[in-house]
Amino acid sequence: MIPKDHPRYDSLMAREKITEGVEKGITGIMGLIAQGRGEAFDYLIGEKTTQSALQAEKTAAAMLLLAEKPVISVNGNVAALVPSGIIELGRIVDAPLEVNIFYRTEERAEKITQHLHSHGAARIYTKRDAGIPGINHERGKVDSGGIFCADVVLVPLEDGDRCKALVDMGKTVITIDLNPLSRTAQTATLTIVDNITRAIPAISGFALELKNKKQDELHAIIREFDNKKNLAESIDGITAHLRHLTQQSPK
């Protein structure tokens, strides 16, 4: 049992959820490595949502609200870390979920689907009857009624090839990735450099705030956002945080 006042409570809880996910057969073993990499970047960021991430989260909410056919892609790490959060976000922006995993086994895909249903998910795309052009591995197979025909796709903790292929299909691709240098972060239409455990509730919060705004206002938020500039600010944020830490450390 991790005490709530432990200075790294959130990070340790995330570890527990991921290891529990592996034990239940929801999260792949590679998910542990991905989590470790994410943790390292979160440490560099300062384990908090930065101003640039908040800007990206608000823009993501506007994009999802304006979408005609938004879909949220769920993999083994996402299902373990934020099952209720993505279901709630899907409900607010009217986006069904689609289970799409990189290290695919039918058994794990089915367990993730059941896990999401047990948390209250209503609509989950599970068919794999369409292919993303240019992606030959398992993750290229998607639901013809889901990701394949979506106009806006939220793909957190994604692999670079598929992110690029979805952008090449003309979709608006939103990703959440703690590593601002990853291929996914660099190729998505909109990159949120934040921990998914903080990003999903933040996007939901903005979506609730923006839900009743006029479409023009939502378009203006998207127009004003520059992903390249925001990514550069995220990298600058890491440098500034490290400088702050070195200035604080005893000489």
Q: How far apart are CA 48 and CA 156, in angstroms?
A: 18
Neighbours of 246 (CB within 10 A): 7
Measure the N-to-C terminal CA separation of the chain; round to a whole number of Å: 36
By the 10 Å C-beta count (0-12 exposed, 13-18 middle, 19+ buried), 186 is classed as middle
Whichever of 76 and 85 has its CB closer to ligand PTJ, that residue is 76
| 103 part of the interface to ligand PTJ, by CB under 6 A | yes
**From the CB of residue 175, how many other CB atoms can be counted at a distance below 10 Å?**
26
- Binder of ligand PTJ out of 17, 21, 41, 230 (CB under 6 A): 41
Give yes or no for a contact between 207 and 65, defined as CB atoms under 8 angstroms apart: yes
**In the complex, least distance from residue 146 CB atom to ligand PTJ, rounded to whole angstroms:** 16
C-beta atoms surrounding 91 within 10 Å: 15
* Per-residue x/- track, 55-84, ligand PTJ (CB under 6 A): --------------------xxx---x---
Other Cβ atoms within 10 Å of 183 Cβ, number: 15
- Backbone dihedral angles phi then psi of residue 164, each to the nearest 5 degrees: -65, -40
Of the residues 37, 91, 119, 241, which one makes contact with ligand PTJ according to CB under 6 A: 37
Instruction: Considering the complex, state which of residue 34 and residue 221 has its C-beta at the smaller distance from ligand PTJ.
Output: 34
Among the residue ranges 84-92, 100-108, 116-124, 147-155, the one whose residues contact ligand PTJ (CB under 6 A): 100-108
**Pick from 45, 71, 97, 102: which binds ligand PTJ (CB under 6 A)?**
102
Task: Please identify, among the stretches 35-43, 55-63, 114-122, 145-153, the one whose residues bind ligand PTJ according to the rule CB under 6 A.
Answer: 35-43
Which span sits near ligand PTJ by CB under 6 A: 27-35, 46-54, 60-68, 141-149? 27-35
Instruction: Provide the CA 162 distance to its chain's centre, in angstroms.
Output: 14
Distance of alpha carbon 71 from its chain centroid, rounded?
12
In this chain, which stretch among 36-44, 52-60, 86-94, 232-240 interacts with ligand PTJ, using CB under 6 A? 36-44
DSSP 68: S
Q: Point out which residues bind ligand PTJ (CB under 6 A).
A: 28, 30-31, 34-35, 37-38, 41, 75-77, 81, 101-103, 157, 159, 176-179, 182, 195-196
